[in-house]
Amino acid sequence: SGNSIDGIRLYGAATTENVIAGNLIGIDITGMASLYNGDNGISIQNGSFENRIGGDTGEERNIISGNDINGIYINDSDNNEIVGNFIGLDASGMTAVPNAEKGIYIVNSNDNTIGYESSYEPSNFISGNQYGVVITGDIPDPGDPPGTIYDVSMGNWIRYNAIGFNYGGEPAGNTNEGVLISVNSQQNKVGPNNWISYNGTHGVRIDTPLSYYNRIYENYIFENDGKGISLTNG
């Protein structure tokens, strides 16, 4: 915590099979107040793969909150796992300590998993941020020549999370969408068993005509300020 750029950065294709567990990232030693990193809490970039953030036990939980940009940022990196963390909450899980932008931001990346394979309780609590989880590929520019090939985000899986709740099951909504699947995002899955509620706009939004074959299934989506599921040219 308190770094001028990222709290933790994994970078490059030779950076693989690392475990980040049991840390306070963007929050002070009490676990209750922001001691923000100037960029992201954790960033995984440029081909780093098969890393794990968090784990199955309370001792492995990271508190990733209060950062100046995103809690977790994944760019051009595949097959990473995010499990068992508080993202946007304090160490008790009860009070919001927001990351300034996204709780989790996935860009041009494939086959990353957010949440357990199965669980009787939520894996990650992603709450209190501007956005909960955002997945996007390349954003086209009007000046791009015909035939331009864009990178996509494909095959990412969001499952068994609480998005907009605190650890006690009370409202702690993200300001905008709980989950936003944006431009050039294809074949991603939201479900099963995400609890997505109390967010400031829609629970889940799929946006732009370049995002297709995404699947939203077997979730509990209620009490969001907008629609439960919004399909905008999706």
Question: Edge-to-edge, what's the strand order for the sheet holding 24-25?
Answer: 24-25, 63-64, 86-87, 125-126, 162-163, 195-197, 220-222
- How high is the pLDDT of residue 9? 98
Tell which residue, 152, 163, 224, 172, has the closest CA to residue 190: 163
pLDDT for 117: 84
How big, in percent rounded to 5, are the helix, strand and coil portions of the chain? Answer: 0, 35, 65
Predicted model pTM: 0.97
Helix (H) or strand (E) holding 44: strand 42-45
22, pLDDT greater than 70: yes
* The pLDDT value given to residue 188: 99
Half-sphere exposure of 166 (CA within 13 A, CB side): 15
41-99 residue pLDDT tens: 999 999 999 999 999 999 999 999 999 999 999 999 999 999 999 999 999 999 999 99
Domain ranges of the chain: 1-133+145-155+164-177
Distances (CA, A) of 23 to 117, 145, 154, 212: 23, 45, 29, 36
Q: How far apart are alpha carbons 197 and 128 in whole angstroms?
A: 11
Residue-wise pLDDT for 27-47, tens only, equals 999 999 999 999 999 999 999
In this prediction, residue 208 carries a pLDDT of: 77
Contact 158, 129 (CB under 8 A): no
